Amino acid sequence: MTRRTKPPWLKVRAPGGQRYTQIKSRARSLNLHTVCEEAQCPNIGECWGGGTATFMVMGSICTRGCRFCAVNTRRNGAPLEPLEPANVAEAIAEMGLDYVVVTSVNRDDLPTQGAEHFAQCIATIRERNPNTLVEVLIPDFRGRKDLLALVVNARPDVLAHNIECVRRMTPTVRDPRAAYDQSLSVLAEIKRQRPSMPTKSSIMLGVGESETEVMETMGDLRSVGVDFLTLGQYLQPTQKHLSVQNFVHPDVFDRLRVCGEGLGFHYVASGPLVRSSYRAGEFFLRQFIAPDIEPNCETA
Does residue 8 form part of some domain? no
Query: Using 50, 70 and 90 to split pLDDT, how confident is the model at 72?
Result: confident
Model pLDDT, residue 26:
65
Give the whole-number percent of the chain exceeding pLDDT 90. 58
pLDDT at position 24 over 90? no
Confidence bin at 210 (pLDDT 50/70/90): very high
Mean pLDDT, the chain, as a whole number? 85
Look at residue 160 and tell me whether its pLDDT is greater than 60: yes
pTM of the complete model: 0.87
pLDDT at residue 295 in the model: 42
pLDDT, greater one: 101 or 122: 122
Total residue count of the chain as it appears in this document: 300
Q: What 3 state SS string does the chain have?
A: CCCCCCCHHHCCCCCCCHHHHHHHHHHHHCCCEEHHHHCCCCCHHHHHHCCCCEEEECCCEECCCCCCCCCEECCCCCCCCCCHHHHHHHHHHHHCCCEEEEEECCCCCCCCCCHHHHHHHHHHHHHHCCCCEEEEECCCHHHCHHHHHHHHCCCCCEEECCCECCCCCHHHHCCCCCCHHHHHHHHHHHHHHCCCCCEEEEEEECCCCCHHHHHHHHHHHHHCCCCEEEEEECCCCCCCCCCCCCCCCHHHHHHHHHHHHHHCCCEEEECCCCCCCCHHHHHHHHHHHCCCCCCCCCCC
Mean pLDDT value across residues 123-140: 94
- Taking the C-alpha atoms of residue 41 and residue 277, their distance in angstroms, rounded to an integer, is 10
Note whether residue 236 is domain-resident: yes
Residue 239 lies in a domain: yes
CATH number at residue 119: 3.20.20.70
Rounded to an integer, the average pLDDT of 48-65 is 79
Helix axes 115-128, 84-95, angle to 10 degrees: 40
Confidence of residue 212 (pLDDT cuts 50, 70, 90): very high
Straight-line distance from the first to the last Cα atom of the chain, in angstroms, rounded to the nearest whole number: 37
Check residue 203 and give its pLDDT.
97
C-alpha 33/C-alpha 56 separation (Å) is: 5
Q: Is the pLDDT reported for residue 297 higher than 50?
A: no
Count of Cβ atoms closer than 10 Å to residue 30 Cβ: 16
Supply the pLDDT for residue 126: 96
Mean pLDDT on 157-169: 96
d(CA 45, CA 17): 8
* 227, 199 contact by CB (below 8 A): yes
Give the Cβ contact number of residue 212 at 10 Å. 9
- The least confident of 33-42, 186-195, 219-228 is 33-42
Residue 9 lies in a domain: no
Percent share of the chain, pLDDT over 70: 78
Residue 170 lies in a domain: yes
Let me know if residue 40 belongs to a domain.
yes
- Residue 295 in any domain: the answer is no
Number of domain units in the chain? 1
- What average pLDDT does this structure show over 60-87? 89
| Average pLDDT over every residue of 252-262 | 98
Q: Are 205 and 232 in contact (CB under 8 A)?
A: yes
- Domain with 30 in it: 16-289
- 300 part of a folded domain: no
Average pLDDT in the 115-126 region? 98
Mean pLDDT, range 110-126, rounded to an integer = 97
How would residue 19 be classed by pLDDT, with cut points 50, 70 and 90? Answer: low
